[in-house]
Amino acid sequence: MNVLIVSQYYYPDPFRLHEAAEGLVERGHEVTVLTGTPNYSVESASKKVHEKENVINGVKVKRVPTFRRRKGKISLAVSYLTFVMSACCRCITLKKDFDVIFVYQLSPILMTVPALLLRKLTKKKIALYCLDLWPESLIGMGITHKSFIYKIMKKVSIWIYDSVDKVAITSKLFSNYFQNELQIKKDEYMYIPQFAEDIYSDIQHREHMGVNYVFAGNIGEAQSVETIIKAAALLKNESIWWHIVGDGRSLDKCMELAKKENVSEKVIFYGRRPIEEMPYFYSLADAMIVTLENNPIISYTLPGKVQSYMAAGLPILAAVGGETVNIIEEANCGICGEPENYVELAENAKKLAVMDRTQLGENSKRYYQQNFTKEEYISKMEQFLSDLVTT
C-alpha cells in the first residue's frame, strides 16, 4: 500500500504516530506524512526535522508551516487553524499516488479537513483513527457545553466523523459516544488500542524509602491531578511519597494546592521530562497513578499512559471510571476508586502499600503482552487500512 498520513503532529512531537508509520514501512508499505512543524519538542529536535521535505526512518515527511502553540486559548486556536490552512494549500501540489488517506486524529478534529479536501481531489477513501473525542476534548480547555464554540464544533465534529469512510477507536467505549452523543451510526468501529514505547519494557525497580506512587503525563483539567494532592494531604504522616511527572494547563494550580495543603515535601513535581528519562521515574514507582475528572464522557477514554504503566510491569492506583476501570479489573493489576474521590484514593493508597504488588505487576505485564503490543497494533492498523484499499 501507499499510505498518506495526515496529522498536525509528528516526530519529534511526543506521540506514537512515528512508530506506527515506521512499522508500516518495515512491512513493505510506502508511507508519506503531511504534518506541521514540531510543536512540543523544538528545542531538542535536530535541525533536519524542521525541513519541509525529509525522510525519517523510511517515512517521507512533508511539513507545512504552523504557528507554534503557547499558553492560552487564542494561541492554541491559531496553531490549529494555521495547520489546516497550510495543509490544505499543500494538498493542491502534493503528489497524489497514494492508495488511502489515514488521519491520526488527535486534537483538534479540524486536522481532518485537509484529508477531506484530498478525498475530493482524488476520490481516495479516508480511514480515521480517533485518539481524542471531539467536541468533548474542548471541555478540558475550559470551554463549556453551553458555549457557542462548543455548539459549532459539535456540528463540525459530527460532519467530519460522518464524512470519513472508516473509524478506528482507541477505547471500546468511544463507540458509545459516537452513537449516543453524536448520533453517528457507523456499521463498525474497529478497536485498535495504543501500545507503549519499547523504552518501558525493561524497567528495573529501585530500592528506596517508604512507598512511592508516580503519575506521568499531561496535567490538565481532565486528568484531575488535584485529586492526588488532596489524597496526599490526608496521608501526610504516612511514609508515602507522590511523584508528578509532566506539564500542562493545571500544573501551576496543582503546585499551589500542594503548598496550601502543606505537602510540598511529599508531593514532588518534576515538570515535563524527555522520554529518555522516563524509565528512571518508573523505576522509582511501587505503583503508577491514573486519575480522571468525574465526567461520563471522559470516562470513555483509555489514557495512553495505562499501556505504558502495564508495559513496565507496574501496579496501577486509579481514581477513574469507565474504560480504564474495565481494563484494570480485567487485568487484576491494581485498585480502582471513583474519579475525584480523594478520600477513597487515600484509602486505596494505604491498601496498596501493604498488598503483594509484585503479583499485581506481573498481572499488569502479562495483560499488556496479550493485548497491547506494538506488533499487534501494527497488524490491526495494516488491516484497517488495507480493508479500504480493497473495497
Query: What whole-number distance in Å separates Cα of residue 147 and Cα of residue 190?
Result: 32
- Take residue 364 and report the three cell numbers written for it: 499488569
* Domain 198-371, CATH class in plain words: alpha beta
pTM, whole model, 2 decimals?
0.85
195, with CB counted inside 10 A (0-12, 13-18, 19+), is: buried
Q: How many Cβ atoms from other residues are within 10 Å of residue 120's Cβ?
A: 10
Render each residue's pLDDT in the chain as its tens digit; 391 residues: 999 999 999 988 878 899 999 999 999 999 999 999 887 654 444 555 556 678 999 999 999 988 776 666 677 777 778 899 999 999 988 988 999 999 999 989 999 999 999 999 999 999 999 999 999 888 877 788 889 989 999 999 999 999 999 999 999 999 999 988 898 877 789 999 999 888 888 787 776 778 999 999 999 888 999 999 999 999 999 999 999 999 988 999 999 999 999 999 999 999 999 888 999 999 999 999 999 999 888 889 899 999 999 999 999 999 999 999 999 999 999 999 999 999 999 999 999 999 989 999 999 999 999 999 999 999 999 999 998 887 7
3-class secondary structure, 91: helix
pLDDT at 292: 95
- 287 in Cβ contact with 334 (< 8 Å): yes
What residue ranges do the domains of the chain occupy? 2-195+373-390, 198-371
Q: Which residues have a Cβ under 8 Å from the Cβ of 371 and sit 6 or more positions away?
A: 193
CB of 228 within 8 A of CB of 215?
yes
3-state secondary structure of 31: strand
CA dihedral 147, 148, 151, 155 (to 10 degrees): -160
Instruction: Indicate if 198-371 has the same CATH topology as 2-195+373-390.
Output: yes
- Map residue 354 onto helix, strand or coil: coil
Cα(264)–Cα(243) distance, integer angstroms: 11
Q: Alpha-carbon distance 73 to 221, whole Å?
A: 14
Query: Domain 2-195+373-390 is classified in which CATH homologous superfamily?
Result: Glycogen Phosphorylase B; (3.40.50.2000)
Provide the Cα torsion 339, 341, 342, 343; round to 10°.
-150
